[in-house]
Amino acid sequence: MPTSVFIVQSDLVEHPRKSRWPARLDLLQSGTGLALALFMWGHMFFVASILLGKTTMWSITRMFEGYFFFGGAYPRLVSGVAAGILLLFVLHALLAMRKFPGDYRQYRKMRAHVKAMRHEDSTLWIWQVYTGFALFFLASAHLYQMLAWPQNIGPYASSDRMWSDGLWPFYLVMLLAVEVHGGIGLYRLAMKWNWPKFSRNFLKKLKWALTGFFLLLGLMTLGAYMKIGFEHQARYGERYQPADLPLWLQELAPEGDFPRRNPPAEDAP
Ligand code: HEM
């Protein structure tokens, strides 16, 4: 093969202008990661509403289904949000794949470097790769379920899924993976774009505090769903229907669904 052909084919020719695409893709990866992390914070609080009682979780679920705005519940609205998050997730994962080790040899080298250097940020990065890989499967399965059967979300439906359908170990692993991944991801974003302008030490502490907080909230939430699921197993499949709502919510509910009077105090989970 003539030398010139070899050089062109193996991409050894010098490009006169550097491409801007790697920077653009990096920005897109950071942007999708940030959007997903913010979504997860909101998601965690909505799911944790079960800690305030079944009626609270029921009301939040119905709110997302448009029940208090459109005169009836439309679970397909939740499918729409889940589809949007799935798209964002797939894009984020695609962009992240650029940074994964390409083969086993690269992976071994990377691990050896991280071990030898004992560099904390590199160790965090490798954990982000592991948890990100796990989330490929876990989050896709969860999102698909939310997208395909959005009507099966609620105090009893979700708890039955956790307990009687036996999905709590799945949620436990996903919770650990998503909190570790999101925490490290946000820390790395702050380091990379130099915002907010805190010291590395402070950002690291903030990261652990946030991860700890969301893990604790997540574990308490998981426990609450498991407890309700356990107590509800004999009536598996039955859906929760509150007898009453706070007065201001009754007024937003479709006409005739709730008697307009003061309800008793909220029930405990
Ligand atoms: C629009 C999209 C989403 C919806 C509607 C949704 C909804 C829910 C609901 C209702 C639960 C309670 C259990 C159940 O009913 O199955 C739950 C739990 C959970 N979801 Fe999502 N989710 C969405 C996206 C995500 C994403 C992208 C992740 C990231 C991996 C995620 C991670 C989790 C985790 C870890 C739990 C367990 C929380 C705990 O036990 O404390 N979810 N989700």
Mean pLDDT of the 256-268 span: 71
Q: Residue 99's pLDDT is what?
A: 86
* Domains and their CATH numbers in the chain: 22-234 (1.20.1300.10)
Sign of CA pseudo-dihedral 110, 112, 114, 116: negative
DSSP state of 236: T
Q: How confident is the model at residue 69 (pLDDT cuts 50, 70, 90)?
A: very high
To the nearest 5 percent, what fractions of the chain are helix, strand and coil?
Answer: 75, 0, 25
Ligand 1 pocket: which residues have CB below 6 Å?
Answer: 40, 43, 47, 78, 81-82, 85, 89, 135, 139, 142-143, 146, 153, 158, 161, 171, 174-175, 178, 218, 221-222
No. of H helices and E strands in the chain? 11, 0
pLDDT in tens, 34-56: 999 999 999 999 999 999 999 99
DSSP state of 260: S
Mean pLDDT of the 20-39 span: 95
Residue 174 has pLDDT above 90, yes or no: yes
Cα(181)–Cα(92) distance, rounded to whole angstroms?
Answer: 13
Q: Residue 101's pLDDT is what?
A: 86
pLDDT in tens, 183-197: 999 999 999 999 999
Q: Residue 13's pLDDT is what?
A: 61
- Which of 188, 191, 190, 184 lies closest to 208 in space, CA to CA? 184
The pTM of the full predicted model, rounded to 2 decimals, is 0.91
Work out the percent of the chain whose per-residue pLDDT is above 70.
90
Q: How confident is the model at residue 142 (pLDDT cuts 50, 70, 90)?
A: very high
**To the nearest whole number, what is the mean pLDDT of the chain?**
92
CA distances, 206 to each of 47, 184, 187, 190, 220 (Å): 23, 11, 8, 11, 21
Report residue 5 as tokens: 């052909």
Burial of 92 (0-12, 13-18, 19+ CB in 10 A): buried
> How many CB atoms sit inside 10 A of residue 47's CB?
21
Mutation test residue for ligand 1: of 32, 38, 47, the one with most atoms within 8 Å of CB: 47
Mutation test residue for ligand 1: of 34, 36, 38, 43, the one with most atoms within 8 Å of CB: 43
pLDDT in tens, 216-256: 999 999 999 999 999 999 999 999 999 889 999 999 999 88
Q: Residue 14's pLDDT is what?
A: 62
pLDDT in tens, 98-139: 888 889 999 898 889 888 988 889 899 999 999 999 999 999
Q: Residue 50's pLDDT is what?
A: 98
**93-98 LR contacts (CB < 8 Å, sep 24+):** 93/132, 93/135, 93/136, 95/25, 95/28, 95/29, 95/32, 96/29, 96/132, 98/25
> How many CB atoms sit inside 10 A of residue 252's CB?
14
Q: Is 245 in contact with 178 (CB distance < 8 Å)?
A: no
Mean pLDDT of the 64-78 span: 97
- 210 CA distance to ligand 1 middle (Å): 18
Mean pLDDT of the 67-89 span: 98
pLDDT in tens, 6-17: 555 556 666 667
